[in-house]
Amino acid sequence: MTDSPILIRTDNGVGWVTLNRPERRNAFDDRMIADLVRGLAALRGDGSVRAVVLRANGSSFSAGADLEWMKRMSLFGRKENLADARELATLMGVLAEMPKPTVALVQGAALGGGAGLVACCDIAIAADKAVFGFPEARLGLIPAVIAPFVVQAIGPRAARRYFLTGERMDAVEALWLGLIHRVVPRARLEDALRDVLADLTACGPAAQAAVKDLVAAVSGRPPREALDDCARRIAEVRSSAEGREGVTAFLERRPPAWRTGNGRIPAVPPRR
């Protein structure tokens, strides 16, 4: 096995991104962050990739920032710390703004920045024993870079509670708050993932990119203010090559051109 902190492979239209520091509970440092940014950018530009799955080796999904790295950075000045924090912000932005569907597969603890990665993904599936939390305040820190994505996922009031207390939540509570979308037994995680990937790859890739842009555009806007923009968007999509192909395929009772086989995803590549 490679000692790289990130493992990336593509298979049958899926980009697999695996956090690979199990001995450090997949806590990230500057190297891991840089590798993630580069890997996600490469998958974004790969036309064969229809969806991206973020998962992890070992018992934890991610413990967030590596404390040894944080201790090292605390010895530097504000300028160096700002540059370092902006690299982490870049990672969260690249993941959140990926035009392709992203899925977090959470098999264990996702804390701090690890929970932030989950919040950045479009879909999150978690094992029933997974736990989540934002312990930064217990270390005299704040969950600043991940805050926009977490607050968007669980709302400001819940964010105040969990940011202020640093307490952990179980998978059921994370589901109820909206941080994750589905909870399954650990043994059924990969089955649940295959179901989601089959649904994702049944849809038009250009439509999915347009959907993600649409959600970002209408979020927080009054409906009446957004309506004209929405009308323009559907008019453009309906007249696009993919839109015409999708409607024609439906009327002709055949699979659209972007689908292959029966839309099912093969066996999930094994973890370490």
51-56, strands of its sheet edge to edge: 6-11, 14-19, 51-56, 102-106, 123-127, 182-184
Q: Quick one: pLDDT band at residue 70, thresholds 50, 70, 90?
A: confident
- Over 60: is that where the pLDDT of 263 sits? no
Q: Closest by alpha carbon to 26, among 114, 98, 85, 105?
A: 114
Q: Is 221 helix (H, G, I), strand (E, B) or coil?
A: coil
The Cα 189–Cα 172 span in angstroms is: 15
The set of catalytic residues is 136
Q: Which residue has the higher pLDDT, 2 or 62?
A: 62
Tell me: pLDDT of 248 over 90: yes
Amino acid at 59: S
Q: Which residues of 53-91 are buried (b: 16+ CB within 10 A; e: fewer)?
A: bbbbbbebbbbbbbeebbeebeeeeeeeeeebeeebebb
Give the residue-averaged pLDDT of 192-197: 96
Closest C-alpha to 129, from 62, 185, 55? 185
E strand residue ranges, the chain: 6-11, 14-19, 51-56, 102-106, 110-111, 123-127, 131-133, 168-170, 182-184
Q: Which two tokens stand for residue 48?
A: 């064969």
- Report the chain's mean pLDDT, rounded to a whole number: 93
**Which pair of structure tokens corresponds to residue 107?**
């098999």
pLDDT score of 260: 62
Select the more confidently predicted residue: 270 or 110.
110
Q: What does the alpha-carbon distance between residue 145 and residue 142 come to, in Å, rounded to a whole number?
A: 9
pLDDT at 2: 67
Q: Locate tokens 């934002």: which residue?
A: 134
pLDDT given for residue 128 in this prediction: 97
The arithmetic mean of pLDDT across residues 132-136, rounded, is 97
Q: How do the domains of the chain map onto residue ranges?
A: 6-200, 205-251
C-alpha angle 104-127-17 in degrees, rounded to nearest 5: 30
CA distances from 104 to 74, 110, 125, 174 (A): 30, 11, 6, 14
| Res 74 pLDDT > 70 | yes
What was the pLDDT predicted at 84? Answer: 84
pLDDT exceeds cutoff 60 at 201: yes
**Token duo for residue 214:** 């649409």
User: 72: pLDDT confidence band, cut at 50, 70 and 90?
Assistant: confident
Q: Residue 272: which pLDDT band, with cuts at 50, 70 and 90?
A: low
Determine whether domain 6-200 maps to CATH 3.90.226.10.
Answer: yes
> What integer is the mean pLDDT of 13-26?
96
Q: How much is the pLDDT for 69?
A: 83
**Quick one: pLDDT at residue 82?**
86
| 114, pLDDT greater than 80 | yes
